[in-house]
Every structure is written in structure tokens, then in C-alpha cells.
Structure 1
Amino acid sequence: MIPVKGFEGKTVAVLGLGRSGLATVTALQAGGADVLVWDDSPNADEKANDIGATLRDLTKQGAFTDVASLITSPGIAHLYPEPHPAIARAMAEGCPVDNDIGLFFQSFATQEWDNFSTMPKVIAVTGSNGKSTTSALIHHILEEAGRPTQLAGNIGRGVLDIEEAHDGEVVVLELSSYQTDLARALTPDVAVFTNLSPDHLDRHAGHGGYFAAKRRLFAEGGPDRAVIGVDEFEGQYIANQMSGGPGDDRVIRVSSGQKLSGAGWNVFARKGFLSETRKGRQVGSIDLRQIAGLPGAHNHQNACAAYAACRALGIGPRVIEQALHSFKGLPHRSQLIAEKNGVRFVNDSKATNVDSAAKALAAFDKVRWICGGLEKEGGLDALLPAPTVVKAYVIGREAGVFAMKLKGLDVEVCGDMATAVAKAAADAQSGETVLLAPAAASFDQYDSFEKRGEDFVMQVSALE
């Protein structure tokens, strides 16, 4: 646990008692703060009693008279489409609002660091797609290289729930736009931007607000090194803003699909090969085609970003290459579940938006595509014509409506996962892939994309 500094003897309020909220309460108490809590759930009083905190309705006038700061959980809206009433009340009464990410960067360094021979570092990863895989891959490479490391944030443990730093340790954080948008402190040593595609637009009042939330990690974080995917203009913009000129190696540009050139530091993948160039010369190369845990161009981009972040820490190319081959991938992200009669079954339930689903489809030939769910803003046109799709099997409460938008494809409305898996498996021929890549949120039928993926795995396991 990271005890929160700066609030000893002060009263701090915590909004939301989920995973991050509970860890925040414990960390604040360890730092000597008196903690108030508020949660909209019916059993909030029971949760407060369990953690030794005082329950206070933070939506009422005067609730923040004696409060030094309000710490809110990332899933709670703080600005758009409208702020939670407790956050609106805090702002009206002049109480600073922060989140656990801000507290982490405020509290991570301690006096004990004066005795370390190698200063701990923080790598923070953000972007629309691939940030979980990239974060986990960086963590895996560090472990394989013998570096002490912890993985936290939007993946794994809450940032305040990790252990205090060790000599030479590297903490890898996956950060969502919800987390970067509000954090009052953002000071990573290495910041990584994977890519940008439309997502969470309601929480950021559109694409520009969404990009602005991601950009804060760089513009306000001031990292020593910035690893930036430049396949979209937004990434090119951040790289330009962070760079002092063509040869500035504080910026490592990353691409999947295009060759990067110039005097700077570049890492790119083309036709399955990763290349690293510096000052116009190639200094590293890896064949990614046979790495089972990283299939497809989108995973090659993840590999490039992870490679670049680890190279920024001085880890050698051959060490990284060896670690890539032992990476097993993450559940629900291009996860090979089974192979039956020459048919592969792949779980990419995390492909909750159009861009991530399109990349998943492009990673395989002859796809029996299971899709559907709670459609996000922007429509499905960007997925089409989907040349690798043999047939689509649509699930979800509005499966019929979703299916009508997949123009030009052979489509069957299935409704539920069991029906979709059974029909896709019955139709599939040897050499084809049954792929769950929903291109939609899960909340119409499941509590999370993980639950949806687990259902897919269960249905595949039940096949004869």
C-alpha cells in the first residue's frame, strides 16, 4: 500500500466505494487523514463501517465545509454529460477534486529513496486500444529482464494498493481517459500513447474532449521520455508538441504498418517485422510473425510500444525479443481458446468499439464473427466491408437492429452467446476462425466484457 501524503490530520472525502475507492480510503487512513465516504449504493453504511470511515451525504449543502479534498472514483462523471451531484457540490463549495492517480503521483516518492542506488521509475500507458496488452507486455518484459516491477491502474491492482517502491523498481500503470482527465498530479518517467479512436464520447463531450484527456499525460505530465503511436494525426500532434526537433530522442515514434524514417528514434512494424532506428540507422529488428501471444497488426503495434518503452529504460533488444516469445497474452484480448477440427476459437471480448473490432478481424483469415451488444456512438460503417468475414452471428438485446447495419455481409441473428457459438461452430470449416469481437459494449446482457468473454469460453468448452 502507498500511504497518501499531505493530508495528515485533515479531513478527506472519498466518493465511490468500489475497488479504487476502498483502496483510496485505506491509503488515506495510513497517511493520517480522517476519511469521510459517500456511495450511492444501498449498503453504503455497511461498507463505511467495515473500513472505519464516516458516512456523509456529500450532495448536501455545506457537506465540504471541513473537507480538504474530494477523491472520486474514475467511473463517476465529474464533468460530462453532467457531474455527479457530490462533485458539483464540492466544486461549488471550493473543495479541490482529485482521484487516486493524482494521489499516487503525489505520494509515491519517499525519503527512503535517498538510500536507493537506482531510482524507481513509473511508466504510464494510455490510448484507446491496446493499452492493457501494452502495459502487461511491458511488465512481462521487465520481469523477464530481472527488473523489480509492479503492474497497476486500470489493469490489475489499484495504484494505491501496490507495495511501496523498491530499489530500481519500475511501476507500470495503465491509465484510462477517466483517470488522466482529472488527476491533479501526472509525473511519469515514461509516458506511452498507443492510438486514438472514438470512445467514451459522452464522458468527454466529443472526440476533442476525449483526446484532450489523453493528451494531459504528456502536456501536464512532462515525462522524460514519450513513446507515441503516430498512426493517427492526434499522435503526430503529441509527438510534435513533445519534440524539440527532428533528432530529439526524448520522443520515440511508434507505428504499425508504415516505415518511419528520419534522424529521431523510431520503432515500427511492417509485414510482421519490428524495426528500431536511431539517427537514420537500424539498431534492432525482431520477427513478430511467429509470436503466438501477439497476433495481428494491432498486437504488433502493442509490441512496438512495449519494446520502445523498455528500450527507453536501457533493456537490450535480444532480451526484449526473448520476452515477447514467452508472453501468453491477456484474457479476452485475441485469446486463443481452443482449436477443434482445424477451427480456431478466439476470444476478443475486449473489442468493445469499432476500431478494436476491425483490427481483430484483420488479424485472421476466414472469420466466423460473433458480434453485437450495446452499440456505441459513431455507427458500424467503419467496420465494413470486412473482407475477412465469412459470416456474422449477432448477439445482444437489439441483435436485429445491429444486424441490419452490417450491410453487405452474410448475417444471422442469434440473440444469445450459446446460439451464436453453436451456429458458428456448426458452419465453420477447417482453417476458419470463430472470433468473438463484439464491436459493442456488453452491458445489455452482461455486467462486463469479462463476463461476456467467460460466457464465450464456456460455450466453446461445451461443444462436442
Structure 2
Amino acid sequence: MIPVRGYEGARVAVLGLGRSGLATAKALKAGGAEPLVWDDSPDARARAEAEGYTLHDLTRADAWGGITALIVSPGIPHLYPTPNRIIAAAWNAGVPVDNDIGLFFRSFASGEWDHYDSPPRVIAVTGSNGKSTTSALIHHVLSEVGRDSQLAGNIGRGVLDIDPPGDGGVVVLELSSYQTELARALTPDVAILTNLSPDHLDRHGGLGGYFAAKRRLFAEGGPDRAIIGVDEPEGQYLANQMAEGQADDRLIRISAARKLEGVGWSVFARKGFLSEYRKGRQVGSIDLRAIAGLPGAHNHQNACAAYAAVRTLGLAPKVIEKAFHSFQGLPHRSQLVAESGGVRFVNDSKATNADSAAKALAAFKNIRWICGGLEKDGGLGPVAAQLGNVSKAYVIGREAANFALHLGDTPHEVCETMEKAVAQAVADAQEGDIVLLAPAAASFDQYDNFEKRGEDFIAEVTRAIAT
């Protein structure tokens, strides 16, 4: 655990008692604060009270006397589409609002570091797509070479729940826009933006607000190294903002779409080959085509980001390449779950928006595409260019018929349920086909989360190929 510093003897309110909220309360208490907790859910309040925490009704008008700060769980909106009423009350009372990410960065360093040969480092990864795989790949490479590494944030453990790092330890954080937008402290050593595409637009008041939340990690974080995907205009803009000149090697530009020119530091992937350039010449390369855990151009972009990150820590290209080959990928992200009769079944349930689904579709040919769910703002525009890879789409979700209207002339069938979609795709599939779950939509119309959706796909595939 990372004890929270700076609130010794203070009364600190905690709103939201899920995984991060309870970990925050525990870390506040360990640092000498008095956590006062609240959640709209009676069940969550009962669990917290059973663990010994003091409930404090933050909906009362007189709730804010003597409160030093309010710590908010990331899922609670503080501005758009409308401010949460408790957060608005804290504003009116003049109580500073923060989240667990802000507490982590203000509390991470300790006096023990004075005795270390190498201070611990934090690598923070954000972006619309690929941040989980990039974070896990960095952690995997470091673990493979024997470096002390912990994975936390949106993946792995809660940021305040990790162990205090040892000499030379590295903490790899996956950070969503929900986490970066509110944190009052953001000071990573290495910050990564994988890419940017429309997502969570209602939460951020549009694409500009979404980008602004991501940009905070760089503009306010002041990382020693900034690794930025430049395949979108926002990434190009941010890279330009971070660099003092063409040769400023505090910036590493990455791309999975083109060769990057110039005298600066860059890592890019073309036709399955990763290349690293510094000062105008190539200094490293990896053939990514044979790495089973990183299929497709979208994963090659993740590989570029992870490669750049561990290169900043001094790892050699050949060492990184060897570690890449043992990476198995993550569940629900281009995950090969079965193969039967020459047909492969791939679970990419994490493809919850059109851009991530388009990247999954671009990675394969002869696709039997299972798609649909709760549509997000922006429609399916990015998918259109990849529909040539789709032999037939099988649409699930409560609004499957409406979703299917976006598919135009692409052969499709409205299935509504995962059971029917998988059964029909298996019946139609021929040798060499890919049955791909890449929904291009959120899961909440039928499932608690994308993990449950992916697990249902795997269960139905297992049932279908066993009969």
C-alpha cells in the first residue's frame, strides 16, 4: 500500500466505495488521515461500514464542516453531462476535489529513496485504444528481464494498493481520461499517448474536452520523456507542444501508419516491421509479424509505444524483441480463444468503439463479424473502410436492428443474442474464416461489462464447436 501523505490528522471525505474508493480510504487511514466515506448504494455503504470505516452522509447540507478534501472515484462525473450533486456541494463549500491518481502522485516518493541507487520510475499510459495492451506489454518486458515492475491503475491493482517500490522499481500505470481529468497531481517520469479517437464524449463535453483530459498528463505532468502517437492531428499537435526543437529527444514520436522523418527520436511500424530512428539513422528493428501475441497494425502501434518506453529505461532492442515473443496478449483483446475445422475464433470484446473495432477488422480477412450493443456517439464511420474484410456480420444487442442499419450493403443477420450469433457464424463459417467478436459498442445493454460479454462469447464458442 502507498500511504497517503499530506493529510495527517485531517478529515477526508471519500465518494464512491468500489475497488478504488475502498483502497483510497485504506491508504488515507494508513497515512494518518480520518476517512469519512459515502456511496449512493446502501450495499456499498454496508460493506464499508463492516470494514470499520465511518459513514458520512455527503448529501446533507451541513456535511462539509471540517472536511479538508473530497476524493472521488473515477466513474463519478464531476462536470459533464452534469456535475454530480455532491461534487457541486464540495465546490460551493470550498472543499478541494481530487481522485486516487492525484493522491498517488503526491504520496509516491518516500524518504527511503535517499538510500536507493536508482529512484523508482512511473510510466503512465493513456489513449483511446491500446493502453491496456501497451501497459501490460511494458510490464511483461520489464518482468522478463528481471526488473522490479508493478502494473496498476485501470489494469492490475489500484494505484494506492501497490507495494512501495524498491530500488530501481518501475510502476506502469494505465490511466483513463476519467482518471487524468481530475487528478490534482500528475508527475510521471514517462508519459505515453497511444492514439486518440472519439470516446466518452458525453462525459467530457465533446472531443475537445476528451483530448484536454488526456493532454493533462503531459501539459501538467511535465514528464521526463513523452511518447506520443502522431497518427491523428491531436497527437501531432501535442508532440509539437512538448518538443523544444526537431532534435529534442525528450519526445519520442510513434506511428503505425507511416515512416517518421526527421532528426528526432521516433519508433514506427510499417508492413509488420518496427524501426527505431535517432538523429536520422536507424538504431533498432524488430520483425513483428511472427509475434502471436501482437496481431494487426493496432497491436504494432502498441508495440511501438512499449518499445519506446523500455528503451528510455536502457533496454537493448534484442532484449526487447525476445520479451515480445513471450507476450501472450490480454483477455478480450484480439484473443485467440479456439480453432476448429480451420476456423479461428477471436475475442476482441474490448473493442467498445468504432475506431478500435476498425483496427480489429483490419487485422484479419474473411471475417464473420459479431458486432452490436449500446452505440456510442460518433457512429460507425471508422469501420466503413474495413468492411471489405467482412464476409458477413451477425448483430447482437437490444437495438440490433437499428445497429444493422449502419452496415449498408455488407451481408448481415440480426441475431440479438450472443448464443444465436455464434451458432449462426459457426454454421456459415468455412475453412480459413475468422469468427471475430469486435462489437464497436458498449456492453451495458446486455452485460455488466465488456469482460462478461467476452466470457459469454467464449462459452458459446466452446459449446458450438463441441456439438
| TM, length-normalised to structure 2 | 0.99
Aligned equivalent of 2:213? 213
- In 2, the alpha carbon distance for the partners of 1:381 and 1:230 equals 20
User: Aligned pair in 2 of structure 1 residues 357, 45: CA closer, same or farther (>3 Å)?
Assistant: closer
**Residue 460 of structure 1 aligns with which residue?**
461
**What is the one-letter code of the residue matched to 2:300?**
H
TM-superposed CA distance for 1:99, in Å, is 0.3
- Are positions 1:353 and 2:353 aligned together? yes
Can you give the 5+ residue segments of structure 2 that lack an aligned partner in the other structure?
none
1:440 is matched with 441
Rounded Cα–Cα distance in structure 1 between residues aligned with 2:224 and 2:204: 27
Encode CA deviations 1:283-316: one digit per residue, 9 max, x unaligned.
Answer: 0000000100000000000000000000011111
Q: Name the count of aligned residue pairs.
A: 464
The answer to whether structure 1 residue 182 and structure 2 residue 186 are counterparts is no
Deviation at 1:70, TM superposition (A): 0.3
Contact 2:334 2:348 in 1 (8 A): yes
User: Paired residue for 1:14?
Assistant: 14
Identical amino acids, percent of aligned pairs: 72
CA contact 1:177–1:213 (8 Å) conserved in 2: yes
Aligned to 2:33: 33
User: Residue 426 of structure 1 corresponds to which residue in structure 2?
Assistant: 427
Q: What is the one-letter code of the residue matched to 1:360?
A: A
SS in 1 for 2:427: helix
Q: Secondary structure at the match of 1:439?
A: coil
Distance 1:220 1:123 in 2: 15
Tell me, yes or no, if the aligned pair for 1:257 and 1:271 is still in contact at 8 Å.
no
Hey, what's the Cα distance between the residues in 2 that align with 1:132 and 1:17? Answer: 23
CA distance in 1, matches of 2:44, 2:190: 38
Cα deviations by residue, 1:424-454 (Å, 9 ceiling, x for unpaired): 0110111110000000000000000000000
Structure 2 counterparts to residues 328-343 of structure 1, below 5 A:
328-343=328-343
Q: Distance in 2 between matches of 1:37 and 1:74?
A: 15
TM superposition shift of 1:45 = 3.7
8 A Cα contact 2:144 2:323, kept in partner: yes
Tell me whether 1:52 sits opposite 2:52 in the alignment: yes
CA distance in 2, matches of 1:429, 1:48: 53
State the shift of 1:384 in Å.
1.3
Q: 1:59, CA displacement in angstroms?
A: 2.1
Which secondary structure state, in structure 2, belongs to the residue aligned with residue 438 of structure 1?
coil
Superposition deviation, residue 56 in structure 1: 1.4
Paired residues of 2:227 and 2:308 also in contact (CA < 8 A)? yes
Q: What residue in structure 2 maps to residue 108 of structure 1?
A: 108
CA contact (8 A) 1:60 1:89 kept: no
Match of 2:256 in 1: 256
**Alpha-carbon offset, residue 44 of structure 1:** 3.8
Q: Which runs of 5+ in 1 are unaligned?
A: none
Q: Note if 1:410 corresponds to 2:445.
A: no
1:61 Cα deviation after fit: 1.5
Kept after mapping to 1: 8 A contact 2:22/2:48: no
User: Over aligned residues, Cα RMSD in angstroms?
Assistant: 0.7
- Aligned partner of residue 387 in structure 1, secondary structure: helix
Q: Match of 2:422, as an amino acid?
A: V
The one-letter code sitting in structure 2 at the alignment partner of 1:37 is V
Deviation at 1:379, TM superposition (A): 1.1
Q: Does 1:293 align with 2:293?
A: yes
Partner Cα distance (2:267, 2:462) in 1: 39
State the SS of the aligned residue for 2:388: coil
Q: What secondary structure sits across from 2:123 in the alignment? A: strand
Can you list the C-alpha shifts for 1:240-268, whole angstroms capped at 9, x where unaligned? 01100000000000000200011000000
CA contact (8 A) 2:17 2:45 kept: no
Q: What amino acid maps onto 2:11 in structure 1?
A: T
After TM superposition, the structure 1 = structure 2 runs for residues 113-152 of structure 1, keeping only pairs within 5 Å, are 113-152=113-152
Deviations 1:36-63 (A, max 9, x none): 0110002244123223221111122221
TM-score of the aligned structures, taking structure 1 as reference length: 0.99
Letter in 1 for 2:445: D
- Worse-superposed segment, 59-68 or 451-460: 59-68
Residues 336-389 of structure 1: CA distance to partner in whole angstroms, max 9, x if unpaired? 001100000000000000000000000001100000000000112331151100
